[in-house]
Structure 1
Amino acid sequence: MASGIPKTSLTLMTTVYRRIFPAVHRELAFWKTRAEAIPNAELRKQALASIETKRFHCLGGAVYALLAGSKWREAVRFIVAYQTISDYLDNLCDRSISLDPNDFRLLHEAMSDALSQKNPLQFYYALRTDQRDGDYLADLVRTCQQTMQRITAYTEISEHIQQLEQLYSDLQVHKHVKEEERVPRLVNWFEEKTDHSSLYWYEFAAAAGSTLGVFCLVSYALGERLTRSLPDAIITSYFPFMQGLHILLDYYIDQQEDEAEGDLNFCRFYADRTELKKRLMYFVTQADCHVQSLPDRRFHELVRHGLIGLYLGDPKVRTLEGGPEMTNALLRMSGYKARFFHWNTRFFYRFKQRGWDKRTNN
C-alpha cells in the first residue's frame, strides 16, 4: 500500500534492516550455493566474486521493493536476480580474455530476456571459451521472467524497461572492447543517442549503467500502482540524473581498484577533483528536482540521500585523495538525511555485515 511506503529516514532504515536486508541475504545465499556448483572454474570464480564483492548493489537496489506493497518479497527476488545477472556479466566482461563486442552483446541478451515474459533462453556463452555454468545464468533469467509473468500491467512498462536495458547493454559492450576503441565508441554512441547538451559523454555513459529505473518501474508494476503517465515520468525522473548520480558515486569509490585492474572509470575524465565535486553537486540538485513530480516524492528523495550516504560511507572513500573533503562537501550540501544514512552505512560496515552473514547461514 502507498501508505506503507517510508517517508522518513528512520522509518526507511528500520524497514530496510528488519525486512529488506534479511530477504536480500537469503536470496543471495541461494544464488551463492548455485554459483558454487558451476562446473567451469572461471565462470564459478566470477559468479562467486560478483556476489561477494558487489552484494551491496543488491542491498541498495532492493529498497525499491518497498514500492511493491504486499508484493515486496517478489520484488526483492526479482531485484536480487536481475542485479546478480548485471554484476556477474560485468565481471565476465571486465576479467575476460575476450575483447569481442559480439561476445559482450550476446552475454547481455540475458538481461533483455530477463525483462521479457516469454523470450526463449539463448546460449549466452556461445562466443566465448568458458561455457559450462550448470544453468546458473539461465536460472537467473528464468527467475526474472517469472516475475514479469506475474505483472498484470506488463505491457505498460515493457517498452520502458527494455529502453533502459538497451542503454545498459550498449554501455557494457562499448566499455569492454579494445582499450583504444572504448572512448571513441562511447563518444559516438553519446552523440547518436542523446540531446542532453548539459552532460559530458562520460556522464551519459554513467547514467546508462544504473539499474535503478528498472527496479522502480517493476516495483510499481508489481504493486499495481501504475498510472497511464507514470512509466514516462519515471524514465524522465531517473534518467539521466538519479541514475547518473548513482553510477558516478559508484565509480568514485572504485577509482583505485579500477586503476589497478585497468578498467575504464568515468571519474578520471574530469579535469580535476574540483570539477568532479562541482558536477556531482549538479547531479544531486538535478536528481532532487526531477523526482518532485513522482508519487511518493519523499521516498525518492530519501533514495537520493541514501545514495550519498551509502557510497560515501564506504571505507574505500577514506583511502582516496581528497575523499574526506568530498564527503564533507556532499554531506553538507545534502543535509541531515544524507548524514543519517552515512552514519548508518559506516555502522553497517563496522558491526553489522558479519552479523547478517551469520544469520543467513544459520
Structure 2
Amino acid sequence: MKTPTKPWTMMYTIYKELVPEVHQIMGEWRTRAENIPSVELQRQALDSIETKAFHCEGGAAFGLLVPQEKRRDLLRFIIAYQTICDYLDGLCDWSDSQDPNDFQKLHESLKHALSPGTPTENYYTFREEQDDNGYLKELIETCQSILVTFPGFSSVQENMEELSAYYRGLQVHKHVVKEDREPRLTAWFERNQEHLPDMAWYEFNACTGSTLGIFAMAGHAARSHLAKVQADSIKSAYFPYVQGLHILLDYFIDQEEDIEDDELNFCAQYPNEEKMAERIRYFKQQAEKSVSILPDAKFHSMIIKGIIAIYLADEKVQTNPSMKKTANGFIRFGGLPAAFFYLNTWIYRRKSKEIYGSAK
C-alpha cells in the first residue's frame, strides 16, 4: 500500500480518521479505569488518560502504514502499550518510596506486553496499592493478543524488546532518590557507550525514553512479513536519533516546570542554550539521514517533522517569549513541512479542547 508522503494528506487523515478512533479506544480504557477499586491506582490511571492523550494521538500516525482493515488492531496495540507507559510513569513520579525494585517490577509489565504467551504477574508487589481490578493485566493481554496477529511480529520482536529494555531502564534510574539519579544514569550510559555514536550521557538517556521505534516496527510488522534485516534497519533508523530528537524536544518544553519541581531535565544539562540548539539540530539532521534508508522514507521523514511541530506548538512554548524564540529556530530548520504541521497542530490543540475537554 502507499503511505502518505505529503503533509496535508497526512494531517487530514490523522485528524479526520485516526484521532477520533484513538479517543474512542481511549474512552474504553477510561471506563475500565473508572472501575479500579484502589483510589490511588484509579487516580493515576485516569490522569494518564486525561492528560497524556496526545502521546496516543502522536503514536496513531503509524496507523497510516497499514491498510484500513488492519488499522484498528494497530491502534489498539499502540494505545494499550502507550497507556501502560503513561500509567506507570505517573505511579513512579508520585511514589513515596522511590524504590528501584518497585519501579523495575512495575515495568516488567512492558516486557510481558511484548511477549505473547507470557503469563502476567503481580506487578504491584512492592507497593501498598494492589487492587486495580485487572486493569494492568488487561492492557498487557491486549498487546499480546494483537501482536501475535501481525505477520511480521516474529522478525521485530527482539528489536522491540531491546528498545523496551532501554525505556524500562530509564524509568527505573530516573525515578530513584534525587542523589542517586545522575550517578545511576551516567553509569548506565557508560555500560552502553561502546555501542553508541558520540553523545553525552543525558543525550543517550533521552534516546531511551521514546516509544516511537517500537510503534514504527509494529506498523511495519502489522502490514506484512519482514526479513530480520528489515527489522534491524527500522530499529537502527529510530534509535538513537529519531527517539533522541523526540525526547530532547519533550524535555525542552518542560524545562521551567522541571526546575520548579526540582526534577532532572536532560536539556538543562547542556552548558548553554546555544549548545542545546546546536545538538538538537544535529539530532534532527541525523534522524533524517537515518530514516532515508527505509522503504517508506518520505513517510518517516514526515514523522520527524511532525514531532518538531507537536512539541513546539505546545502552550508552554507559546506563552514563553524566550522559549518561543528558540522554538522558531527549530521550526525553520524543520523546513516548510514542519511549519505546516506546526500551524495545523497549533490550531488543532485549541479545537481539541472544545471537542475532547482536558485531553491535550
Relative to the length of structure 2, the TM-score reads 0.96
Query: C-alpha deviations, 1:209-234, integer Å up to 9, x for none?
Result: 00000001111111115234211101
Name the SS for the 2:176 alignment partner: coil
Distance 2:112 2:36 in 1: 21
Q: CA deviation at 1:352?
A: 3.0
> 1:37 is matched with which residue: 35, 38, 48?
35
Alignment match, 1:98: 97
Alignment of 1:26 with 2:24, yes or no, is yes
Distance 1:211 1:8 in 2: 24
For residues 88-127 of structure 1, the aligned pairs below 5 Å read: 88-127=87-126
Distance 1:97 1:287 in 2: 38
Distance 2:297 2:242 in 1: 13
Distance 2:128 2:271 in 1: 40
For residues 70-149 of structure 1, the aligned pairs below 5 Å read: 70-149=69-148
Name the SS for the 1:163 alignment partner: helix
Alignment match, 1:17: 15
Name the SS for the 2:92 alignment partner: helix
Alignment match, 1:193: 192
Alignment match, 1:184: 183
Distance 1:343 1:255 in 2: 23
Query: C-alpha deviations, 1:152-211, integer Å up to 9, x for none?
Result: 332211111100110000111111111101101110100101332421111110110000
Please tell me whether the aligned partners of residues 25 and 357 of structure 1 are also in contact (alpha carbons under 8 angstroms): no
Distance 2:265 2:205 in 1: 11
Query: C-alpha deviations, 1:250-294, integer Å up to 9, x for none?
Result: 111122332333332111111111111111101111100111100
Alignment match, 1:260: 260
> 1:49 is matched with which residue: 36, 42, 47?
47
Please tell me whether the aligned partners of residues 244 and 283 of structure 1 are also in contact (alpha carbons under 8 angstroms): yes
Distance 1:174 1:228 in 2: 31
Deviates more, 1:322-331 or 1:235-244: 322-331
Alignment match, 2:353: 353
Name the SS for the 1:251 alignment partner: helix
Please tell me whether the aligned partners of residues 112 and 140 of structure 2 are also in contact (alpha carbons under 8 angstroms): yes
Please tell me whether the aligned partners of residues 153 and 221 of structure 2 are also in contact (alpha carbons under 8 angstroms): yes
Give structure 2 stretches of 5+ with no counterpart.
Answer: none
Distance 2:193 2:100 in 1: 22
For residues 173-322 of structure 1, the aligned pairs below 5 Å read: 173-195=172-194, 196-224=196-224, 226-320=226-320, 322=322
Query: C-alpha deviations, 1:42-87, integer Å up to 9, x for none?
Result: 1111111111111100000110121122311111000011000000
Q: How many aligned positions are there?
A: 357
Structure 1: 4+ residue segments shifted above 4 A: none
Please tell me whether the aligned partners of residues 94 and 263 of structure 1 are also in contact (alpha carbons under 8 angstroms): no
Alignment match, 1:330: 330
Distance 1:256 1:264 in 2: 11
Q: Over the residues paired in the alignment, what is the CA RMSD in angstroms?
A: 1.5
Please tell me whether the aligned partners of residues 152 and 225 of structure 2 are also in contact (alpha carbons under 8 angstroms): no
Please tell me whether the aligned partners of residues 251 and 267 of structure 1 are also in contact (alpha carbons under 8 angstroms): yes
Name the SS for the 1:116 alignment partner: coil
Name the SS for the 1:279 alignment partner: helix
Please tell me whether the aligned partners of residues 246 and 307 of structure 1 are also in contact (alpha carbons under 8 angstroms): yes
Give structure 1 stretches of 5+ with no counterpart.
Answer: none
Relative to the length of structure 1, the TM-score reads 0.95
Query: C-alpha deviations, 1:336-359, integer Å up to 9, x for none?
Result: 10001101111011223322459x
Which amino acid is the alignment partner of residue 38 of structure 1? I
Query: C-alpha deviations, 1:294-315, integer Å up to 9, x for none?
Result: 0110000000000111100111
Which amino acid is the alignment partner of residue 158 of structure 2? E
Distance 1:133 1:313 in 2: 35
Distance 2:253 2:259 in 1: 12
